[in-house]
Amino acid sequence: GIRLVGKSERPMRTCRSCFLRHSILKSTNSRAWESAELAVPDVCIIDTSTAHRTNPDWAYGFPELSKAHREAIAAGKRIAGPGCHAGGFIATVYPLVACGLLPKDTLLTCNSITGYSGGGRKMIEAYRDGARPEEYLSPRQYGMTQVHKHLPEMQVITGLTHAPAFSPIVADFYAGMVVTVPVFAEQMTGCPTLQTVREAMADHYAGQKLVKVINDETPKFYGANALAGHDSMEIRVDGNDRVILLTARFDNLGKGASGAAVQCMNIAMGLDETEGLNP
């Protein structure tokens, strides 16, 4: 059986007596920590909070990163779902670090624009309020102190020596996001061409069902909400031989949240990873 443990439930009441074989935690960090401690060892827990994403004892819930990640999800009983902004950054950077094109000590920047559903119930209500400030009509940057909760995850999972300079932006649309990481070719090993980086990214994700590398003609505009309602992710490598733009486009509620949790649950249960999802 499967149980969804929400923010309003006390872990003492739900754990041990009520956890079934597979449970998804949709709660605050403190309650996620408490729930995980109380749960019996043979219960498979998928935590969607930030509580366990950098914990080496938990499988990181992005199976497309490597064979080892997928196997850990399939065999593990503790799985940490990726963050939305972090997932886009990691999806574009991890392959290049893994293949040696991007040195681990590279200083990176990351820009990410997301729909307002990423801020949860309070932000959704604020954006839908008829008396909301006029400022809400424009994109709004936040996390300007550079202590965003996704930064440790972005650094640890990619294996970088330093966390990136991160500029998250929320805008007046419900769901969807685009995460962009610009890199100078001279920062990379051997100063590779754009085509070399494209090929490396495509090779890394070849054969994946929910992450696709798109190498068609560079679009003039790239809408952040194009994959709203879907559970897949598109990765692009654009720019030129001097400046390379790595982008990931997906639904912050799909591959960036609940869709990723369901994918991990499917893998843990031995099902097709796309069961119940909308690629």
Task: Give the active site residues.
Answer: 84
Instruction: Let me know: does 82 contact 152? Beta carbons within 8 Å.
Output: no
Spell out the long-range contacts of 8-17 with Cβ–Cβ below 8 A and sequence spacing 24 or more: 11/35, 11/38, 12/38, 15/39, 16/40
Helix (H, G, I), strand (E, B) or coil at 275: coil
Instruction: Let me know: does 118 contact 254? Beta carbons within 8 Å.
Output: no
Cα 219 to Cα 110, 128, 216, 245: the distances in Å are: 20, 31, 8, 13
Amino acid at 212: K
